[in-house]
């Protein structure tokens, strides 16, 4: 049959295309969206001549792919946008420890794995945001305050299926214990203005439009709304929102990282480490800061201008691997609390 011949030919061509192995390259599984990483990778290739091959996807799916491919995986580097997933990858035996003085010097201890299995590359803060005209920011100073019944019907937050909320709750479990955090979550749910839906930007927009007074969201979403060139209404909405840095007299505001590790079975380990070292270079850190308004992981780098306007703050110094450890506890707790 012609078709069968055609198919086997096509298959052959396909297989041929894959089995090229020893060029100067590094293979990357990235949960960071292509638009937010590709420019950096291109720059890396320009500088070093090492070609970067990229697959993006959701972190858990990439982890599963890494796991099923086992020792034969082509992937050398895993990038995620939260510490919890990196912790999970390490626990599943998918990563190898990295020995790099550059990484150790650049990345503060609480933003990397204690055994050097992964390193944070950029920081993402999740403070409390509020409608400027409707709230005195001095009356609300901590995440714990959000449980106060006086905020009934005033808070917007997205679904607990979202990793950012899971990490926030995990950090609270680390600080206050499971029982107290569950009570907090119940009280928070009772204060919600509407059932959780949409993303972080939606919460900010809802606060700006008056559906709620308080929103919990990552800073870069607000920063992107503020700098939205095309959309005047986004800028207007962002203009009505202020930021409260919570828990400044205590553990500090919740912080997560986007980070990376080298896979256990990496075939291009040296190139992989080179790539990671490039991603903490001043140049790459500037890109994170200016293009996506994340906080650089390097202590001596300045954030973007907008972020500077929102002031300096103390971040929660908890070691981020705890976020991974408490992740499933956090999800179950939120299920029980009725946080959808």
Partner 1 sequence: MVAVSALLALPILVVLSFVFQPAGDVWQHLLETVLADYVINSLLLMVGVGVGTLLLGVGSAWLTTQYQFPGRETLIWALLLPLSMPAYITAYTYTGMLDYAGPLQYQLREWFDWSYGDYWFPDVRSLPGAMAVLSFVLYPYVYLLSRAAFLEQSVSVTDASRLLGCTAWRSFRRVGLPMARPAIIAGLSLALMETLADYGTVQYFGVDTFTTGIFRTWFGLGDSSAAAQLSSVLLSFIFLLIVLERWSRKRARYHHVGIRSQPLNVQFLSGWRAAAAIAACALPLVLGFILPTGQLLLWAFRTADQMVDAEFYRLIRNSITLAAGAAILAVFIALLIAYGKRLSPNRIVNSAARVAGMGYAIPGTVIAVGVMLSLAWLDNSIDFWLRRQFGISTGLLFSGTLFALVFAYMVRFLAVSLQTVESGLAKIKESMDDVARSLGYRPKEVLRRVHIPIMRGSLLTAGLIVFVDILKELPATLILRPFNFNTLAVRAFELASDERLADSAIPATAIVLVGLIPVILLSRAIARSRTTTYVDRTNSNA
Minimum CB distance to partner 1, residue 177 (Å): 19
Which listed residue (9, 55, 109, 317) binds partner 1 by CB under 8 A? 55
Minimum CB distance to partner 1, residue 159 (Å): 6
* C-beta closer to partner 1: residue 60 or 148: 60
DSSP-assigned letter for residue 112:
B
Q: Where are the beta strands (DSSP E) in the chain?
A: 25-30, 51-56, 77-80, 95-96, 119-125, 128-131, 155-156, 214-216, 241-244, 255-263, 295-296
Residue 123 to residue 294: CA distance in whole angstroms: 6
The answer to whether the CB of 143 falls within 8 A of the CB of 172 is yes
The two structure tokens encoding residue 64: 């599963």
Give yes or no for residue 47 binding partner 1 (CB under 8 A).
Answer: no
Residue 82 to residue 123: CA distance in whole angstroms: 9
Which listed residue (145, 202, 290, 302) binds partner 1 by CB under 8 A? 202
Binding flags for partner 1, 232-261, as an x/- string (CB under 8 A): -x---x------------------------
Give yes or no for residue 331 binding partner 1 (CB under 8 A).
Answer: yes
CA atoms within 13 A on the CB side of 327: 19
Minimum CB distance to partner 1, residue 63 (Å): 9
Which listed residue (43, 45, 48, 57) binds partner 1 by CB under 8 A? 57
* C-beta closer to partner 1: residue 107 or 262: 262
The answer to whether the CB of 62 falls within 8 A of the CB of 29 is yes
- Paired with 253 in beta bridges are 315
Instruction: Tell me if residue 221 falls in helix, strand or coil.
Output: helix
Give yes or no for residue 109 binding partner 1 (CB under 8 A).
Answer: no
Minimum CB distance to partner 1, residue 285 (Å): 20
Minimum CB distance to partner 1, residue 230 (Å): 5
Among 37, 105, 27, 19, which Cα is nearest to 65's?
27
Residue 75 to residue 55: CA distance in whole angstroms: 9
Residues 268-327 that bind partner 1 (CB under 8 A): 327
Residue 124 to residue 146: CA distance in whole angstroms: 21
Residues 2-41 that bind partner 1 (CB under 8 A): 3, 7, 10-11, 14-15, 17-19, 21, 27, 33-36
User: Considering CB under 8 A, how many residues would be counted as binding partner 1?
Assistant: 67
Residue 289 to residue 306: CA distance in whole angstroms: 10
Residue 340 to residue 158: CA distance in whole angstroms: 9
Tokens 């293979």: give the residue: 27
Among 331, 323, 332, 335, which Cα is nearest to 174's?
323
Which listed residue (40, 208, 214, 216) binds partner 1 by CB under 8 A? 208
- Stretch touching partner 1 by CB under 8 A, among 108-116, 172-180, 198-206, 246-254: 198-206
Binding flags for partner 1, 72-101, as an x/- string (CB under 8 A): xxx-------------x-------------
Which strands sit side by side in the sheet containing 241-244, from one edge to the other?
Answer: 155-156, 214-216, 128-131, 241-244
* C-beta closer to partner 1: residue 102 or 306: 306
* C-beta closer to partner 1: residue 48 or 53: 53
Return residues touching partner 1 (CB under 8 A): 3, 7, 10-11, 14-15, 17-19, 21, 27, 33-36, 53-58, 60-62, 64-65, 68-74, 88, 159-161, 163, 166, 194-202, 205-206, 208-211, 221, 224, 230-231, 233, 237, 327-328, 331-332, 335-336, 340
């Amino acid at each position: 049959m012609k078709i069968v011949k055609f198919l086997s030919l096509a298959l052959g061509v396909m297989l041929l295309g894959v089995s090229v192995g020893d060029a100067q390259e590094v293979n990357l599984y990235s949960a960071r969206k292509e638009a937010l990483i590709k420019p950096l990778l291109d720059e890396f290739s320009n500088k070093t001549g090492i070609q970067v091959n990229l697959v993006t996807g959701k972190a858990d799916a990439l982890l599963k792919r890494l796991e099923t491919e086992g020792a034969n995986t082509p992937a050398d580097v895993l990038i995620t946008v939260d510490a919890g997933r990196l912790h999970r990858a390490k626990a599943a035996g998918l990563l190898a420890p990295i020995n790099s003085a550059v990484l150790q010097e650049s990345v503060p201890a609480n933003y990397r794995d204690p055994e050097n299995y992964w390193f944070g590359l950029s920081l993402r803060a999740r403070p409390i945001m509020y409608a400027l005209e409707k709230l005195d920011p001095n009356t609300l100073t901590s995440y714990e305050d959000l449980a106060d019944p006086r905020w009934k019907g005033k808070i917007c937050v997205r679904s607990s299926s979202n990793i950012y909320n899971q990490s926030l709750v995990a950090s609270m479990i680390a600080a206050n214990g499971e029982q107290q955090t569950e009570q907090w979550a119940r009280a928070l749910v009772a204060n919600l203005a509407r059932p959780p839906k949409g993303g972080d930007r939606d919460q900010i927009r809802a606060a700006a439009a008056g559906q709620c007074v308080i929103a919990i969201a990552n800073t870069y979403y607000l920063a992107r709304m503020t700098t939205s060139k095309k959309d005047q209404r986004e800028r207007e909405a962002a203009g009505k929102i202020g930021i409260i840095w919570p828990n400044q007299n205590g553990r500090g505001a919740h912080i997560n990282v986007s980070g990376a590790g080298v896979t256990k079975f990496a075939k291009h380990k040296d190139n992989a480490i080179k790539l990671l070292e490039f991603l903490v270079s001043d140049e790459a850190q500037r890109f994170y800061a200016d293009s996506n308004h994340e906080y650089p992981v390097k202590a001596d780098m300045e954030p973007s201008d907008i972020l500077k306007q929102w002031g300096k703050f103390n971040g929660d110094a908890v070691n981020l691997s705890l976020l991974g450890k408490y992740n499933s506890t956090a999800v179950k707790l939120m299920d029980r609390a009725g946080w959808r």
